[in-house]
Every structure is written in C-alpha cells, then in structure tokens.
Amino acid sequence: MTAKIIDGKALATQVKQAVRGEVEKLVAAGVLPGLAVVLVGDDPASQIYVRNKKKNCEELGIASQVYHLPADTKEEELKALVDQLNADPKVHGILVQLPLPAPLREEEVTAQINPEKDVDGFHPVNLGRLLRGEKGLCPCTPAGILALIKASGVEVVGRDCVVVGRSNIVGKPVAHLLLQEHATVTICHSRTRNLADLTRRADLLVVAVGKAGLIDGSMVKPGAVVIDVGMNRLPSGKVVGDVDFPSVLEVAGAITPVPGGVGPMTIAMLMKNTVEAAILQNGEKLGKD
C-alpha cells in the first residue's frame, strides 16, 4: 500500500480562489482589505516569509504594507507602531513576524495587537475563544491542518488523534480544533514515554516538533492520515519534515509532503483571516451584525 499524497498547494489554491471572490465583494461594497506586516531585524527566513505574504496579498487584491524595523528597535517603539496600526481603519490585519530578536518579548507584543486585527490568531483573547469553542480568528497553521485533514476525506468524529508537539502556535491549537470536531485527542511531547506506542494508535497523526525524521513507518498505524508540520533543513540543503516520508508513505493511508503540504495552507489561511477580519470590522457598512 502506498499512501495518498495530500496536495497542500492544490488546496491552498482553492482557498485563495474563494478569498479572491470575497475580496471582490468587499471592494464592491467600498471596503479594501488591508494587511500590515511588521518585520524586526534581518533574519533571512523571516524576510522570505514576509515577501511571500506580500506577494499573496497582491495576487488576491489585498492591500499590504510592510514595516521593516532595525533589530535594535526598543519594545516601546514596536508597541507604538502596533498601536498606530490598531487605530488605522484601513488596516484590518496586523502580523508581527516571529521570531522577534532578543530582548523583545513576543508575548507582550502579540498582546498589544487588537484581537479583531490579530490575523495570526495568537492573541490571548483569540486563543481563549478557541479554547471555549467560540468564533474568532484562528491560528493559521492549525486551521490549515484541519482543512487538509478534511480534504483527505477522513471522518474526524470519534477518531483517535495524536498530536506530537505542544507549542502555542501549532500543537495546542490544533488539538483544540480536533476536539471541536469530536475527535479523541492525545498530545505528546518531549517527555512522553513510549511515544511509538501512542502514535501507532492514531487514526490521525499530526507531527509538529521540528526534528527531522522523528516519526518513521514503524510508528504509524496502517491506513492513518499523517500531517507533517515540520520543516527542517539538512546539511545538504534539502528541506524535510518531522516524518520520515519514504517509510511512512508505505504504511499511511494519506500523508502531506514537505514541502508542498502544510506550508502553502498556512499562507492561504492568513489571507482568509485577513478577509474575515475586514468583514468583522465593517459589519455595519456591509449590513452584517
């Protein structure tokens, strides 16, 4: 048996087509969705991510502005910029690119963003809404993971799901999204004993730890859906996930590739969140409650 490849690029294209349609409706109603991205310092990976976000905005008709600050920017200066963007009615989404250079505190800066403009979904208010199962801006990667699982055709209700990784960005939020879909969820981490015993039980396995090849075919239940969130660059320059793709491909029922799986969905869900934020902030103008 060879697993079905879950094509993140193809699904992301579908999501972005839907977003483009929503943007056209908003523009016709007099609302131009706007995203502000704040980049502090000169981290090469962050610069690539920011350029990619701006490019996607341009493709979909979303207004975008990048604020590039020096690495030695003071926290008060960064927060002042966030406040300025919070007050700007043309800016519907604010994204502060992470990681921030030390000694800037990511939690403090994230909490400064207006929750209605928090398109990353990292504000404590939005994470609280997720925990309570309430409507809010959801973290992009977990939202993309759920969309990929549904695209695989698997029924989530009642399934045994194992999430390897407990970060606030992926592990914890995706676990709560799966709970909302009525799955039975186990979260594993660096101190979990007998990891393989747990992962072999999973109908749905989400791996997000940042360790190349952590999960191999012997650790996967035959026919399971495997979502690989990891993105690790090997000394050779090759980018691989947290899952040993060749061995798991022969066991799983469906699997996301790296690259081309979760990554494209993250940016697509960011675009979707930006449009949802614009709708949320212009409910009266759009005739919505």
* Tens digit of each residue's pLDDT (9 = 90 or more) over 112-167: 999 999 999 999 999 999 999 999 999 999 999 999 999 889 999 999 999 999 99
Name residue, tokens 């060749």: 246
Q: Catalytic positions, please?
A: 53, 97, 120
Provide the pLDDT for residue 286.
Answer: 78
Fold of 31-114: Rossmann fold (3.40.50)
Q: Are 252 and 244 in contact (CB under 8 A)?
A: no
Give tens-digit pLDDT for 186-239. 999 999 999 999 999 999 999 999 999 999 999 999 999 999 999 999 999 999
Whose CA is closest to 6, among 150, 143, 138?
150
pLDDT, one tens digit per residue, over 15-36 is 999 999 999 999 999 999 999 9
- What is the DSSP secondary-structure string of the chain? --PEE--HHHHHHHHHHHHHHHHHHHHHTT---EEEEEEES--HHHHHHHHHHHHHHHHHT-EEEEEEE-TT--HHHHHHHHHHHHH-TT--EEEE-SSPPTT--HHHHHHHS-GGGBTT--SHHHHHHHHHT--SPPPHHHHHHHHHHHHTT---TT-EEEEE---TTTHHHHHHHHHHTT-EEEEE-TT-SSHHHHHTT-SEEEE-SS-TT-B-GGGS-TT-EEEE---EE-TTS-EE-SB-HHHHHTT-SEE--SSSSHHHHHHHHHHHHHHHHHHHHTTTTTT--
The answer to whether 31-114 and 140-263 have equal CATH topology is: yes
Domain ranges across the chain = 31-114, 140-263
CATH topology of domain 140-263: Rossmann fold (3.40.50)
pLDDT at residue 168 greater than cutoff 80: yes
pLDDT at 276 over 90: yes
Assign 289 a pLDDT band (cuts: 50, 70, 90).
low
- Position 283 scores a pLDDT of 80
Two tokens at 63?
Answer: 């207004």
pLDDT recorded at residue 288: 61
Average per-residue pLDDT in the chain? 96
**Of 31, 248, 40, which Cα lies nearest the Cα of 49?**
40
Provide the whole-model pTM.
0.95
Distance, in Å, from the CA atom of 132 to the CA atom of 150, rounded to the nearest integer, reads 22
Q: Identify the band that residue 98 occupies on the pLDDT scale cut at 50, 70 and 90.
A: very high
| Residue 1 pLDDT > 80 | no
